[in-house]
Structure 1
Amino acid sequence: MPSGVILTLGEGSVGQLGLGDEVMTRKKPAVVPDISQEEIKKIKAGGMHTVCLTNTNKIYTFGCNDEFALGRPTDDDDSEYSPKLVLGPVTQNQVVHLTAGDSHTCVLTETGRVFVWGSFRDSRGRLGMMKPKEAKTPTELTTIKEPVIDVASGNDHVAMATASGQVLTMGCSEQGQIGRVSRYFNDRGGRRTIVYLLVPTKICIHKVRGFKKPKIIKVFCSAYATWVVSTDGHIFGFGLNNYKQLGFEDGVNRHMPEHVDQFSDIGCVQIAGGQHHTLLLDKHGSVYSLGRGEYGRLGHGTDITQADEPIKINTLQNITSISASSAVSFALDKDGKAWGWGLGTNLQLTTGTEDDVWTPTQLTGRNLETRKILEIGSGGQHTVILAQDQP
């Protein structure tokens, strides 16, 4: 797998940039110095923390640790502001995938084991992780009885696809994002209590007429929603839909999985979303967006501030991956060039200003001039870039 160096920009008041306790903001991408000699192969940006994985299976974290999202002690005054190693049994397993939410982190190993740390939250405060208590260090989800093949994180929930094609979810259920709690029992699980939300549990996905029972192979999450993809290419969604971002034009949240016709018709290979908008990537390298368009997050210019169905962003071609967070969006092409658009307030888009960006604009900076971008992680107020030196 290609590897490179990690660069950060945006707001860094709690250490999520990894540039030390004297750098609170960064307008242009800066190399994280403490791990500049490491070969980084995976990155992920959480709400206010950053996670990265090296070619030698080391996991580094930095940023806010109030809910233990870093998975390590931060007793030293500056240990949140610089990359430090996560230790414990998780490092004895070959990690293949990282995810991160507002206050939690999750990793998947090559043998299908899942480790989590941190805590979920809801509108009433801390929920916990696996039980009504935070996980301060990496802890395996031992109740899962078969290998997991894919995992994704929302702000405060996790979705997993298993080798047999099942989907397991855990976390906050308030907007329907775990797909197995009726809206009448959303208040911390109702009679079943918080534990029902925190233990990974299978959801029920009904088959599409004329097809066999769906076998799920991919999961995607936005802040408050989840989509799952079957081997037949069918996409099912559940969660927040107040701006039609889930893919249903009625604007009603879905608390149980439902087939998303317009996403399935596009043939999505990747889905990414923020709080109120969604990006879709098809097999031809085209990108579509829908949902709320305020601040430019849809990428269609100032004329479109709401999209009830996916609209193609015609300026983007040959795109290989997409990412998004609250009100910003990113796309990466096959040549290692990247584009960003959306809210400018947090300086996440490399423009150097706080102006909103209404159409895709190429990411720039002195530290990107001789580097090919491999991956982009979009956090709550910061951006993380994995880039490879070019001759």
Structure 2
Amino acid sequence: MVRKLSTKDVGKTEEPKKSRGRPRKISAVEKGSNSGKRKLSKSVSEEPRIKQKKIEVPNLFELASVGVALTLGQGDTGQLGLGEDIMERKKPALVRGELDGKKIKKIIGGGMHTVCLTDDHKVYSFGCNDEGALGRLTSDDSEGFEPKIVGGSLEGVKVIDISAGDSHCAALSEDGNVFLWGCFRDNHGRLGLAKEWEKCGEPIKLDQIQNCVVAIASGCDHVAMITDEGKVFTLGCGEQGQLGRLSKYALSRGGRKSAEERCLRPKPVTVPKIKGKSGKPMFCEVYCGSYCTYIVSTDGDVFGFGLNNYHQLGIPDGESRYMPVYIPTFSEKKWRSISGGLHHSMLLDEHGDVYCIGRGDYGRLGLGEKVLIADKPTKIEALQNIVQIGAGPCVSFAVDKNGKAFAWGMGTNFQLTSGEEDDEWTPIEFRGKQLEERSVIMVGGGGQHTVLLACDKIVNGE
């Protein structure tokens, strides 16, 4: 049921994948105020260090609403979390099992798996585990069809954020530690996670970063992080430039040589100064598309690196970037959020308006059938008062302040709730019995499925 798509000068297929062969720190949380800011203390080192300015970021975990998990789309590897008998859903279905009665803060769709974060800081996963993406041991495929807790090194850890890619997951703890599990892949196949070629079936703690991490994001096969000193670290596959620290020449000449040291160890990204501004920028936000990365400074300036073949980085020449570049077209507004798919990007501004840029095939830009490409952020006039956005490879989503969710893009995998395989070129409202008495909090796209977090409308006072 997968539609094969045309490609353009890209070393990756746009076909949603059916298999993986294709997608010492010390800190304290000051809870005495209602500012919604998470304050992290300076890390301690044996050697004297120049005092660095620390950034403050919103404590999104404490600010986030709680709800229940809903899924729809393709579920042949268990990514819907609905049991072995349900391989497909055209409308949102309630995920039960071990999540029944749990208050969920966040839900993320990976390539062929799903990961949830509860209000008691626990992580649950379900779906395909052939590359260790569930973070827990499974004796057979059937054990991935229902949600189970991720333990191991996460036991006793207060997780406050999660991210997921094609075959990996990341978790951020309250004290600024990052845990990873699963595997990265590149054009040669399995790249590895901690060691080259090897997957990690249970969470491992990253210990190479000496400062507290305050934000994480995942692309298909890479992870980007922000520290409390406003620095950017990346690891994973860098073939399209998404790591922002390996040159195109080095990648083409080096191949897989020393991949473990160069790619699988988190290392800092050097970001250039902006002409006319003094000092190097400090960063507080990070977002990832499938094969690109966006970082936002404390001044609101946006930099990007990675795949740009359809202008998804906001750079009109269509050339990919292997090192960070300042993006003027993205820096003209103040953005609440950025979300990227395979060949398109979405941006949500402070006024609740949504802009799209990149490839328009199959309707993913939401701008109508006549717009097959946009080389600058273009407003979707049909959407207003939006508070959350999300993207899958070829689909897009938005949630407004009233808890209504909208979808547009490729309909092949039933990710849009229309119940049909037709593409939607402009936003349509989410439909389904499970949403009649619920408000949507967040929505996102996996490789072939859609995930939602929703709460009872009575809880919201409606």
Q: What TM-score bracket applies, with the shorter chain setting the length?
A: over 0.9
CA distance in 1 between counterparts of 2:149 and 2:231 reads: 33
For the pair 1:149 / 2:214, whether they are aligned, the reply is: yes
The C-alpha deviation readout for 1:37-57, integer Å capped at 9, x for no partner, is 211111111000000011222
1:100 aligns to 2:157 (yes or no): no
Q: Does the aligned pair in 1 maintain the 2:289–2:339 contact within 8 Å? A: yes
For the 8 Å contact 1:181–1:189, the answer to whether it is kept is no
| Residue 175 of structure 1, aligned match among 231, 240, 244 | 240
Q: Percent identity?
A: 52
Mapped partners of 2:255, 2:141: distance in 1: 38
What is the distance in 2 between the residues matched to 1:225 and 1:67? 22
Please tell me whether residue 264 in structure 1 is matched to residue 331 in structure 2.
yes
Q: Distance in 2 between matches of 1:341 and 1:144?
A: 39
The CA distance in 1 between the partners of 2:117 and 2:259, in whole Å, is 35
Instruction: Tell me what 1:200 maps to.
Output: 266
| Greater gyration radius | 2
Name the amino acid aligned to 2:104: I
TM-score, scaled to structure 2: 0.83
One-letter amino acid of the structure 2 residue matched with residue 174 of structure 1: E
Displacement of 1:287 in angstroms is: 0.5
Using the TM superposition, give the Cα deviation of residue 36 of structure 1 relative to its aligned residue in structure 2, in angstroms: 2.5
CA-to-aligned-CA distance 1:5-58 (integer Å, 9 cap, x gap): 111000001000001111110000000121232111111110000000112222
CA deviations on 1:330-378 (whole Å, 9 max, x unpaired) are: 0111111111000000000111111000001111100001001111121
1:54 counterpart = 2:121: no
Q: Which amino acid aligns with 1:287?
A: V
Residue 12 (str. 1) matches residue 75 (str. 2): yes
* Structure 2: distance between partners of 1:304 and 1:209: 34
RMSD across aligned positions (CA): 1.2
Secondary structure of 2:142's aligned partner: coil
Q: What is residue 403 of structure 2 aligned with on the other side?
A: 336
Letter in 1 for 2:441: L
Confirm whether residue 31 of structure 1 aligns to residue 87 of structure 2. no
Partners of 1:189 and 1:196 within 8 A in 2:
no
Question: Could you tell which deviates more after superposition, 199-208 or 72-81?
Answer: 72-81
Could you tell me which of 204, 208, 218 is aligned with 1:139? 204
SS at match of 1:41: strand
Correspondence for 1:358 among 394, 405, 425: 425
Given that 2:389 and 2:444 are in contact with CA atoms closer than 8 Å, whether structure 1 keeps it comes out as: no
The one-letter amino acid paired with 1:361 is I
Alignment pair present for 1:228 and 2:295: yes
Provide closer, same or farther for how the CA distance between residues 273 and 50 of structure 1 changes in structure 2, counting only shifts above 3 A: same
Q: Which moved more, 1:88-97 or 1:42-51?
A: 88-97
Greater mean alpha carbon deviation, residues 69-78 or residues 236-245: 69-78
Contact 1:131 1:199 (8 Å CA) reproduced: no
The residue aligned with 1:109 is 173
- What is the CA–CA distance in structure 2 between the aligned matches of 1:226 and 1:348, rounded to whole Å? 24
Tell me, yes or no, if structure 1 residue 314 matches structure 2 residue 377: no
Provide the C-alpha distance between the structure 2 equivalents of 1:176 and 1:262, rounded to a whole number of angstroms. 20
1:295 aligns with 2:359: no
> Matched residues in 2 for 1:287 and 1:390: separation?
24
Q: Does the 8 Å CA contact 2:224/2:232 hold for their aligned counterparts? A: yes
The question of whether the paired residues in 2 share the 8 Å contact of 1:277 and 1:291 is answered with yes
**Contact 2:241/2:320, CA 8 A, preserved across alignment:** yes
Determine the C-alpha separation between the residues in 2 that align with 1:337 and 1:360. 12
Cα drift, residue 91 of structure 1 = 3.0
1:248-259 correspondence runs (5 A): 248-259=315-326
Per-residue deviation, 1:267: 2.3
Distance of 1:135 and 1:78 partners within structure 2: 20
Q: Which residue of 2 aligns with 1:159?
A: 224
Task: Tell me, in whole angstroms, the C-alpha distance in 1 between the residues paired with 2:173 and 2:69.
Answer: 22
C-alpha displacement at 1:77, in angstroms? Answer: 4.6
Please give the secondary structure, in 2, of the residue aligned with 1:186.
Answer: helix
Number of equivalent positions: 391
Match among 272, 279, 284 for residue 217 of structure 1:
284
Contact 2:337 2:347 in 1 (8 A): yes
Question: Does the Cα contact within 8 Å between 1:166 and 1:216 map onto a contact in 2?
Answer: yes
CA distance in 1, matches of 2:172, 2:67: 21
Looking at structure 2, the residues matched to 354 and 261 of structure 1 have their Cα atoms a distance apart, in angstroms, of 38
Q: How far has the Cα of 1:194 moved from its partner?
A: 3.5
TM-score by length of 1: 0.98
Q: Which runs of 5+ in 1 are unaligned?
A: none
Deviations 1:95-120 (CA, angstroms, capped at 9, x unpaired)? 11110000000011111110000000
Task: Measure the CA separation in 2 of the matches of 1:16 and 1:124.
Answer: 25
CA distance in 2, matches of 1:290, 1:193: 32
Conserved 8 A contact 1:344-1:357: yes
Say which is worse superposed, 2-11 or 70-79, in terms of deviation: 70-79
Counterpart amino acid of residue 156 in structure 1: D
C-alpha separation in 2, matches of 1:377 and 1:248: 25
Contact 1:112 1:147 in 2 (8 A): yes
From 117, 120, 128, the counterpart of 2:192: 128
More moved, 27-36 vs 186-195: 186-195
Between the aligned partners of 1:189 and 1:203, the Cα distance in structure 2 is: 20
Partner residue in 2 for 1:244:
311
Unaligned ranges ≥5, structure 2: 1-63
Distance 2:100 2:291 in 1: 34
1:129-173 superposed Cα distances (whole Å, 9 cap, x missing partner): 122121110110011111001000000000000000110000101
CA drift at 1:209: 1.7
Contact persistence 2:128–2:141 (CA under 8 A): no
Which one-letter code corresponds to 1:280 in the other structure? L
Give the distance between the partners of 1:271 and 1:314, measured in 2 at CA: 18
Distance change >3 Å, CA 52–CA 7, structure 1 → 2: same
